[in-house]
Amino acid sequence: MNRMPGQGGLSFRKMHGAGNDFVLIDSRGREAMTTPALARALGDRHRGVGFDQLAELRGEAGGPLILDFWNADGTRAGACGNATRCAAALVMEETGRDRLEIRTARGELAAERRDGAIWVNMGAPVTDWREIPLARAVDPAHLPLAGGPVAVGMGNPHCVFLVADAEAVALSVRGPEVERDPLFPDGTNVEFVSRLGPDRLRMRVWERGTGITLACGSGACAAAVAARGRGLTGRRVAIVADGGELQVEQRDDGVWLSGPVAHVFEGRLGAGFLAGLA
């Protein structure tokens, strides 16, 4: 990927993980490029490129990879598991390495290639109400909301509803209602999850700052943590999202995530498009 904007605009790459789609901007070796205005313009699926999240790669040559995440509405995201896997796959392809350390707002994340699949350690789940964060002292394992959902922090706040049938939920209605509930001072991602069988879950997702998405990596991790906490699954579980299947494994060192990664295309934003953001 050509990392310098040049006269023709700004280069980018489009990738997705199980239909969870991203724009990747490579700012390694130079100043960060992304602003709220650029994220909003790029996230517009009619006038821009369109994405669920934008990931900007930063860092100096020979140093650790740094990732910043943005939502389609121009707000910052604290974590994005599938975008982290996409960025890790890109850098591993460039360098031939099978293991990376990645710095994010979530902290230091390890990524590794195992049997051709990219796995990312998304860290330990956050279960303290202050750190998720919640607005007041309640039990995160049984929130005082209809349906008794579970709150889990995975770099982003998540509210996981364990339901009989995730397909029956009016996601476009319930998602934004829960995202903006006063219990979540920073808003929340919302997952509706049902058990398909032993260590197999169905998940539908509403992401804060974006809306309905085909998959969510940190959401899959939160769903796995919530389901295991309720005794529905073991340590390793398959998560069936709208866009594909993700694998989550809860280990002593953190919650590991894997799934498909696809490179879609590379492009360059026109100078006129960028000038309109000034």
Q: Which tens digit of pLDDT belongs to each residue from 229-269?
A: 999 999 999 999 999 999 999 999 999 999 999 999 999 99
- Residue 275: which pLDDT band, with cuts at 50, 70 and 90? confident
118 pLDDT higher than 50: yes
Cβ atoms of residues 60 and 28 within 8 Å: yes
* Residues 199, 222, 103, 45, CA torsion sign: positive
2 pLDDT higher than 70: no
Looking at the DSSP assignment, which residues form a beta bridge with residue 158? Answer: 152, 189
Q: Which of 86, 159, 216, 221 is labelled catalytic?
A: 216
- Average per-residue pLDDT for the chain: 94
Q: Which of 80, 86, 159, 221 is labelled catalytic?
A: 80
User: Which pLDDT does position 121 carry in this prediction?
Assistant: 97
Domains of the chain in start order, with CATH, are 10-122+261-275 (3.10.310.10), 150-252 (3.10.310.10)
- Residue 8: which pLDDT band, with cuts at 50, 70 and 90? low
What pTM value is reported for the model? 0.93
Q: What is the mean pLDDT of residues 110-138?
A: 96
Q: What is the mean pLDDT of residues 35-50?
A: 96
Q: What is the mean pLDDT of residues 23-31?
A: 95
Q: Could you count the other beta carbons within 10 Å of the beta carbon of residue 264?
A: 12
Q: Tell me whether residue 159 is one of the annotated catalytic residues.
A: no
Length of the chain: 278
Angle at 62 between CA 38 and CA 75, to 5 degrees: 20
Q: Tell me whether residue 80 is one of the annotated catalytic residues.
A: yes
Q: What is the mean pLDDT of residues 183-204?
A: 97
Q: Which tens digit of pLDDT belongs to each residue from 57-106?
A: 999 877 889 999 999 999 999 999 999 999 999 999 999 999 999 999 98
6 pLDDT higher than 90: no
